[in-house]
Amino acid sequence: MHEFEGTLDGRGLSLAVVVSRFNEQVVSGLLKGALSALSACGVEDDLISVVHVPGALELPLAAGRMVDAGHDAVIVLGAVIQGETDHYDFVCAGAMRGCAQLAEQTGVPVLLGLLTTANLGQALARAADDERNKGAEVARGAVAMATLCDQLDQHIDEHLDQLYDELDDSAGDDQPSDDPSCGDGEDDSADARRSDVPATEPGQ
């Protein structure tokens, strides 16, 4: 049985953090928590890219650019606070759907730390400098998923190499033998027929 699990060893990982500026007093706390968690996981500062976008709906597009840039995982941070209109539902659904589709289509982990709260107080509580910080939680999840995907990629490569080796061995078993003592049946029959023809004396 093969079992795989990501780790929090972020050494050598290249990560991107895409941050919405809307509700900046909340998002700044999320970003601080995320960067602190990445540092604790051993991710080097020069391997972290931080991208700021105007609002939550712009998050998926910028995250896609970071995937294209070759980052091992992308962390998406934002805060949408419920108002009296349905705009809240539209923004939340659009941002979440876009990030989920990006991860599914590219195979690169896109971790969503988008707060969707009923009021500002709830959002600030989830962005505080403590163990409840959603940015830190999502950052650790990004490291875990990036290392897990690396393990799975290695397993796939090893499995394919094993299959190719088995196919090569099977093809080798099907090759005709070079042993001259092994005739092909047809030549042996022809030789036998020629041996049955009586020799003709000269002049007959």
Q: Cβ(73)–Cβ(48) under 8 Å?
A: no
**CA Rg value for the chain:** 32
Nearest-angstrom CA–CA distance, 127 and 25: 9
| Of 2, 71, 87, 155, catalytic | 87
Which residues, other chains included, contact 140 with Cβ-Cβ below 8 Å and sequence gap of 6+?
8, 37, 41
155 is catalytic: no
Torsion angle (degrees, nearest 10) of CA 144, 146, 152, 157: -150
Q: Which residues are catalytic?
A: 87
